[in-house]
Amino acid sequence: MKEQGNLFYAQSGGVTPVINATAAGVIDKAAENKAAIPKVFMGHNGILGLIHENLINGFSLTSSQRKQLLQSPGGAFGSCRFKLPDDIKHPIYKRCIEVFKAHNIRYFLYNGGGDSQQTSLKIAQASQYYDHPTHCIGLPKTIDNDLPVTDTCPGFGSTAKYIAVSTQEIALDVVSMHQTSTKVFIFEVMGRHAGWLAAASALGKKNKQDAPHLILFPERTFKSEDFLHQTASTVRRYGYCIIVTSEGIRDAQGNFISDANQTDAFGHTQLGGVAAYLSNLVVSELKLKTHFAIADYLQRSARHIASKVDLDQAYAVGAKGVELALNRQSGVMVTIKRLSNANYRWTLTQTPLSRVAAKERKLPSKFISANGYGITNSARTYLHPLIQGEAYPQYRHGLPQYLAFQPEFVPKKLPDWNDPDV
Amino acid sequence: MKEQGNLFYAQSGGVTPVINATAAGVIDKAAENKAAIPKVFMGHNGILGLIHENLINGFSLTSSQRKQLLQSPGGAFGSCRFKLPDDIKHPIYKRCIEVFKAHNIRYFLYNGGGDSQQTSLKIAQASQYYDHPTHCIGLPKTIDNDLPVTDTCPGFGSTAKYIAVSTQEIALDVVSMHQTSTKVFIFEVMGRHAGWLAAASALGKKNKQDAPHLILFPERTFKSEDFLHQTASTVRRYGYCIIVTSEGIRDAQGNFISDANQTDAFGHTQLGGVAAYLSNLVVSELKLKTHFAIADYLQRSARHIASKVDLDQAYAVGAKGVELALNRQSGVMVTIKRLSNANYRWTLTQTPLSRVAAKERKLPSKFISANGYGITNSARTYLHPLIQGEAYPQYRHGLPQYLAFQPEFVPKKLPDWNDPDV
């Protein structure tokens, strides 16, 4: 017989176009198991919701709100960037367990990237330490696709699709104007340490002359001279050059280019990110007209162009987490396992949290082309299935009907938590 | 009986998500009138295609390519930024008329914004001066929506929709993270002199607390202190602040903020556009965490989220231009006339080119709210119909099927044009 207890779920770290689909998967699956899980608590602002006992009644969402969750970007219950202390004896862990006890929480599902899986691991350890057995399950999420073990991370496929489509669209703009206008276009995408998103920009590239012509990966050292040489020769060959850069490229000394307060030809110091830096470099050294776009949060909230595969996986991962918890698993993260590339068949399984917590998966060398500025066929084979299918939100009067709801908070049972650090 | 002659069409200035739909409208309508219009020539790179006799056979496009035109951003035939000389006696005009004569061109349709309508007007004058009667028709196009007389400009509605949707998406991201992360987000959109696109960012705003909280219009002087005051008070009230800025905002001296080589609190000079400038201002003066996105060409090529109304108008404008030309009109631009706001009924009519050439329509004062940072209900009533309806491109393997074709150039009949200025 399944153990009875309530479930806590929360969203952590940078949000994605589909993290709410995972929340919907959790609520729906829990609702199918109300005998075992009488209540579902959604933490407000991630782990902070647990610490401050700010719990939203997950079963209070109407079925239409649950459907809207599936089509709304952002983190509907609030997310956070918050690192728990290393020491398991820190009072904050005792507090977490007190909240578990006060609300009879026996299932803890935490939805995030590598750092957030570290949080799941810590909570699992704390629940053992304080002898309040809790089934702690990590749910993967990150647009950066940098969690190890899992085939991909929900959120990545949709952001990758946004970037692949946007790169093609920008290229069609630039090619039509290049004779008398912009010759070099720079598109800055996320990826502080791993180039998965930048790699996805090439998914629409069929021939050598197609965009993007140069991709700058964090996995490769940025060398100004070679970059300028490649840019100039691309412009000579095709008349224009489309460049996609990861925000996290670094120079030979390991310094982020985005942090470079370099002066340009006019003695001006430059701030404003990698794209502005590269643009100024091309203008001053090659005397070519440039433009640049910085996608920033646009890319990780672009639910309007989500990948159907990604959305399906995000939902399935949430439901699977509840299943694993009910089956008395703990200390594991749900992972996606690829069964075949053709028609992309996949299934869900799990891995110990210790294998993913605070870990980072970079783009493997076999995915980066020999010159360092493009992707290989292996990369395409891996990436292409993840952007398949369109999953448009419903529109009303020309705009997507994204979820806007007043959360129903659960009455508090404990005194306020007054640690000044939290 | 209709006069027999060939038709020249070209795309000019910054491209839009739907300018190719206008080209499709031209080709389709001309194809219905082959007795009067035996050949359609698409100028390669705008008016430069005429000058250099680089003419693409418009009837060579297959019906499937014509359908793809309807769903492809960029300018399929190439566009240009090129200003014809003022003096009608300049040899370049004689050259244009020679190309007209060599290819029996009697219909001239030019698709662009205010500067491009100036080109249409010049060509109309030249055809009179050189006694080669040509029916010259301007077709409106610009994402900036700054052409006078016409209700709107094809291209604006789709870009407005992209901005309205993106603003809502960004807001959902920021609201879910603001407690422990970004407090102020800045979204930079196009609009060097007019704030139509920035205004569209508010179309998803239902309540005062919704994003965007501040819009910076080129029509209002940027005042740092007031801006910082508004930003700080918004953050105090809601916890975060979403700002949409036109690229073209200026200070009290009339200088573009984007040109400001201001030094920040660290003595660093700043380049990289308005968003970077505002971000640094907020960080240094308010000590708040910021993020910013710069849409740049993303917004004017985002065919994947085009407005159906906009697409329909773009196509209709092309077809109407052919009709007007066949009815012996000349020296006019096709305009859109609004018949009603409810269910947005519209029709097409025309206006003399002299009323639109090199003119600019700014956002009227009645569209900007009293405090200068928002839009009024009149603005909503005007703007909302223009983003109605979705017109998704067809996807294959996860990506839009945008047109890629090898243009069939028409054999040249004249010697090369060797003016060093062109």
Domain ranges of chain B: 6-141+306-359+392-400, 156-301
Of B243, B11, B293, the residue nearest B140 (C-alpha): B11
Query: How would you write chain B as a 3-class SS string?
Result: CCCCCEEEEEECCCCCCCHHHHHHHHHHHHHCCCCCCCCEEEECCCHHHHHCCCEEEHHHCCHHHHHHHHCCCCCCCCCCCCCCCCCCCCHHHHHHHHHHHHCCEEEEEEEECHHHHHHHHHHHHHHHHCCCCCEEEEEECCCCCCCCCCCCCCCHHHHHHHHHHHHHHHHHHHHHHCCCCCCEEEEEECCCCCCHHHHHCCCCCCCCCCCCCEEECCCCCCCHHHHHHHHHHHHHHHCCEEEEEECCCECCCCCEHHHCCCECCCCCECCCHHHHHHHHHHHHHHCCCEEEEECCHHHHHCHHHCEHHHHHHHHHHHHHHHHHHHCCCCCEEEEEEEEECCCCEEEEEEEEHHHCCCCCCCCCHHHECCCCCCECHHHHHHHHHHHCCECCCCEECCEECCCCCCCCECCCCCCCCCCCCC
Q: How many angstroms away from the CA of A277 is the closest CA of chain B?
A: 8
A268, pLDDT greater than 80: no
Quick check: A48 and B176 CB within 8 A? no
Residue B267 predicted with pLDDT over 50: no
Residue type, B249: I
Q: Which residues of A are tagged catalytic?
A: 144
The proportion of chain B whose per-residue pLDDT surpasses 90, expressed as a percent, equals 92
In the numeric block, which tokens belong to residue B312? 């329909």
Q: What is the mean pLDDT of residues A162-186?
A: 97
How far, in Å, CA of A119 to CA of A48, rounded? 11
Considering chain A, what percentage of its residues have pLDDT values greater than 90?
92
Q: Is the pLDDT of residue A332 over 70?
A: yes
* Contact assignment for A399 to B166 by CB distance below 8 Å: no
> Which chain B residues have a beta carbon less than 8 Å from that of A276?
271-273, 276
What homologous superfamily does CATH list for B156-301?
A: Phosphofructokinase domain (3.40.50.460)
Range 242-281 of A in CB contact (< 8 A) with B: 261, 263-264, 267-273, 275-276, 279-280
Residues 6+ apart with CB under 8 A from B95: B51, B417, B419
Nearest chain B residue to A81 by CA: give it: B180
Question: Which of B115, B144, B310, B312 is the catalytic position?
Answer: B144
User: Is the pLDDT at A1 greater than 70, yes or no?
Assistant: no
- Number of other CB atoms surrounding residue A177 within 10 Å: 28
The answer to whether A300 contacts chain B (CB < 8 Å) is yes
Condensed to tens digits (0 to 9), the pLDDT of residues B290-325 reads: 999 999 999 999 999 999 999 999 999 999 999 999
Find the mean pLDDT for residues B182-190. Answer: 97
Of A218-227, A256-265, B337-346, the one with minimum mean pLDDT is A256-265
ipTM: 0.96
Share above pLDDT 70 across residues of chain B, in percent, rounded to a whole number = 95
Closest by alpha carbon to A113, among A204, A14, A185, A244?
A14
Distance from CA of A221 to the nearest CA of B (A): 23
| Partner A, chain B 304-323, Cβ-Cβ below 8 Å | 304-305, 307
Which of B17, B261, B397 lies at the smallest CB-CB distance from A384? B397
Nearest Cα of chain B lies from the Cα of A279 at a distance, in angstroms, of 9
Q: Is A169 within 8 Å of B73 when comparing Cβ atoms?
A: yes
Average pLDDT over residues A162-188: 97
- B54 pLDDT above the threshold of 60: yes
Contact yes or no for A73 and B172 at CB 8 A: yes
Chain B within 8 Å of A302 (Cβ-Cβ)?
yes
Mean pLDDT confidence for A199-207 = 97
| pLDDT tens-place string over residues A300-320 | 999 999 999 999 999 999 999
pLDDT at B287 over 70: yes
Does residue A244 have a pLDDT over 90? yes
| Chain B interface mutation, best of A18, A111, A176, A257, highest count of B Cβ atoms under 10 Å | A176
**pLDDT at residue A301, rounded to an integer:** 98
Is the pLDDT reported for residue A264 higher than 50? no
Tell me whether residues A81 and B177 touch, CB distance under 8 A.
yes
Q: Is pLDDT of A45 > 70?
A: yes
Is residue A385 reached through a cis peptide bond, with omega within 30 degrees of 0 on the bond before it? no
Out of B187, B276, B388, the one facing A271 most closely (by C-beta) is B276
Predicted local confidence at residue B21, as pLDDT: 98
Q: What is the second-level CATH architecture of the domain A6-142+305-358+391-400?
A: 3-Layer(aba) Sandwich (3.40)
Amino acid identity of A36? A
Question: Max Cα separation, chain A?
Answer: 74
Average of per-residue pLDDT across B189-218: 97
From chain A residues 375-414, the ones with a CB under 8 A of any chain B CB are 384, 387-390, 392, 395, 397-400, 402, 404
Show which of residues 8-27 on chain A sit within 8 Å of chain B, judged by CB atoms.
11, 14-15
Q: How is domain B6-141+306-359+392-400 classified at the architecture level of CATH?
A: 3-Layer(aba) Sandwich (3.40)
Task: Tell me: pLDDT of B166 over 80.
Answer: yes
Tell me: pLDDT of A260 over 70.
no
A6-142+305-358+391-400 and A156-301 have identical folds? yes
CA separation for the pair A23, A319 (Å, rounded): 9
pLDDT over threshold 50, residue B265: no
Residue B135: predicted pLDDT: 97
Whether residue B204 has pLDDT greater than 70? yes
Tens of pLDDT, residues B361-397: 999 999 999 999 999 999 999 999 999 999 999 999 9
Name residue, tokens 């020769």.
A233
CB B188 within 8 A of CB B294: yes
